[in-house]
């Protein structure tokens, strides 16, 4: 499993612009004021405050996050892609199941760009080729590797003549695929809510974890903080998610005004109040256990 490509469009100013349009502010100020001229970190704070929390005192305006487009390409097994495409508020493109069979044989075996040489190496059991074309799970007892070997040997044996007729029916779910996903930031949060659960399949859970880290470190989207505002029950001390929230909020605090930080801390304290486990330690760790110092 690997995240191969990530691009974001509309962050962070699109949510701010959406808020200002709905408030009628764009009648009195030019649109550019809320896009290129609006301070980056103020726009980030607006987006954080847009997230719905389970608190009765406040209802967010999370739909503005739908104006941020998130596009990524990942490599994972067919098991992972089958689960990912169940999230319907997205567009997908993924490697055809025919590519490892038909494409390698319809042209000259040595022609550039065909997968034939790699398929041959995989059929021969070469470790690097096999792990390029299949996802071997940790702790595999050899059965998954053997299923992949049988499939590639069947492909080679068919010479492309019977791939559609019967060889494709032998494809293991461990077969690797590249999948391209285009969605919006609100849907990313929804996917994370479901797929970070301990009972989620390990591969899609790792993909979502990697995506969330990359969204922050490459595009400065505090998506883990947004997530715990939506699902406070996820906020626990001494976890990877908690460390991510601390990293994000430490950076946000450096750039926003004292009054804005107070508002953010108030939201976080309200959200954390619904989760007793480790609450004080968590809040102290992100500097929100009491009124923060400027």
Q: Which of 93, 83, 87, 81 is nearest to 176 (CA)?
A: 81
Task: Identify the residue with better confidence: 97 or 71.
Answer: 71
- Distance, in Å, from the CA atom of 148 to the CA atom of 119, rounded to the nearest integer, reads 11
Q: Which of 290, 225, 227 is nearest to 262 (CA)?
A: 290
Q: Residue 54: pLDDT band by 50, 70, 90 thresholds?
A: low
pLDDT at 74 over 50: yes
Which of 78, 145, 168, 195 is catalytic? The answer is 195
pTM score, whole prediction = 0.88
pLDDT at residue 265, as a whole number: 85
pLDDT at 53 over 60: yes
User: Is 195 among the residues known to form the active site?
Assistant: yes
pLDDT at residue 143, as a whole number: 95
Give the lowest-confidence range in 67-71, 146-150, 268-272: 268-272
- C-beta atoms surrounding 284 within 10 Å: 12
Q: Is the dihedral of CA 15, 16, 17, 20 positive or negative?
A: positive
- Distance, in Å, from the CA atom of 46 to the CA atom of 15, rounded to the nearest integer, reads 8
What percent of the chain is predicted at pLDDT more than 90? Answer: 52
pLDDT at residue 191, as a whole number: 96
Q: How far is CA 184 from CA 15, 23, 190, 226, in A?
A: 11, 22, 10, 14
Q: Which of 146, 135, 180 is nearest to 4 (CA)?
A: 180
Task: Identify the residue with better confidence: 149 or 278.
Answer: 149
pLDDT at 270 over 80: no
- C-beta atoms surrounding 193 within 10 Å: 14
- Distance, in Å, from the CA atom of 294 to the CA atom of 283, rounded to the nearest integer, reads 17
pLDDT at 81 over 70: yes
Q: How far is CA 206 from CA 72, 166, 195, 212, 213, in A?
A: 15, 33, 9, 10, 11
Q: In this predicted model, what pLDDT tens digit does every residue of 214-248 receive, in sequence order?
A: 999 999 999 999 998 888 777 665 567 888 888 99
Q: What's the whole-number average pLDDT of the chain?
A: 84
Q: In this predicted model, what pLDDT tens digit does every residue of 143-174 receive, in sequence order?
A: 999 999 998 888 887 765 655 567 778 889 99
pLDDT at 112 over 60: no
* 225 contacts 21 by C-beta, under 8 angstroms: no
């Amino acid at each position: 499993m690997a995240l191969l490509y990530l691009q974001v469009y509309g962050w962070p100013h699109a949510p701010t612009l959406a808020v200002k349009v709905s408030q009628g502010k764009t009648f009195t100020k030019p649109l550019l004021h809320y896009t290129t001229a609006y301070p980056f970190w103020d726009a980030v704070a607006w987006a954080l405050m847009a997230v719905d929390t389970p608190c009765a005192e406040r209802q967010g305006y999370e739909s503005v996050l739908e104006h941020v487009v998130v596009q990524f390409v990942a490599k994972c097994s067919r098991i992972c892609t089958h689960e990912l495409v169940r999230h319907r508020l997205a567009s997908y493109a993924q490697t055809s199941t025919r590519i490892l069979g038909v494409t390698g044989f319809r042209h000259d075996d040595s022609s550039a760009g065909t997968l034939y040489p790699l398929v041959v190496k995989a059929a021969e059991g070469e470790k690097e080729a096999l792990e390029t074309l299949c996802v071997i799970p940790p702790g595999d007892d050899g059965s998954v590797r053997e299923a992949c070997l049988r499939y590639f040997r069947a492909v080679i044996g068919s010479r492309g003549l019977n791939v559609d007729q019967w060889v494709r029916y032998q494809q293991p779910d461990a077969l690797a695929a590249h999948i391209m996903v285009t969605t919006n930031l609100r849907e990313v949060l929804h996917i994370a809510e479901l797929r970070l659960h301990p009972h989620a399949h390990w591969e899609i859970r790792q993909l979502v974890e990697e995506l969330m880290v990359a969204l922050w470190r490459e595009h400065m989207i505090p998506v883990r903080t947004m997530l715990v505002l939506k699902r406070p029950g996820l906020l626990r001390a001494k976890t990877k998610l908690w460390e991510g929230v601390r990293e994000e909020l430490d950076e946000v605090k450096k750039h926003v005004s004292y009054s804005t930080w107070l508002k953010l801390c108030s939201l976080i304290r309200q959200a954390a109040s619904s989760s007793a486990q480790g609450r004080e330690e968590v809040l102290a760790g992100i500097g929100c256990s009491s009124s923060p110092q400027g």
